[in-house]
Amino acid sequence: MKINSIYIIGSLRNPEIVSLENDIERIGIEPFGQWFAAGKTADDSWRDYAKARGWTYKQALNSYCSKHVFSFDARHLERCDAAVLLMPAGRSGHLELGVALGKGKPGFILFDQEPERWDQMIQFATDVFFSRSEFLEYLKAL
Grouping H, G, I as helix, E, B as strand and the rest as coil, residue 117 is coil
Inside any domain, residue 72: no
Inside any domain, residue 59: no
Inside any domain, residue 124: yes
Integer CA distances (angstroms), 120 to 115, 117, 128, in order: 12, 10, 12
CATH of the domain at 133: 3.40.50.450
Integer CA distances (angstroms), 117 to 25, 36, 94, 120, in order: 32, 26, 16, 10
| pLDDT confidence of residue 13 | 95
Between CA 84 and CA 128 the distance in angstroms is 9
Q: What are 33-87's pLDDT values in tens digits?
A: 999 999 999 999 999 999 999 999 999 999 999 999 999 999 999 999 999 999 9
Q: What are 80-110's pLDDT values in tens digits?
A: 999 999 999 999 999 999 999 999 999 999 9
Domain with 130, as residue range(s), is 5-39+79-141
| pLDDT confidence of residue 90 | 92
| pLDDT confidence of residue 48 | 98
Between CA 13 and CA 88 the distance in angstroms is 9
- The strand pair at 127-129 and 107-110 is best described as parallel
Contact status, residue 135 vs residue 109, Cβ threshold 8 Å: no
Total domains in the fold of the chain: 1
Q: What are 112-139's pLDDT values in tens digits?
A: 999 999 999 999 999 999 999 999 999 9
Between CA 1 and CA 75 the distance in angstroms is 22
The whole model's pTM is what? 0.94
Inside any domain, residue 74: no
Grouping H, G, I as helix, E, B as strand and the rest as coil, residue 109 is strand
| pLDDT confidence of residue 1 | 81
117 Cβ contact partners less than 8 Å away, ≥ 6 residues apart: none
How far out from the chain centre does Cα 1 lie?
21
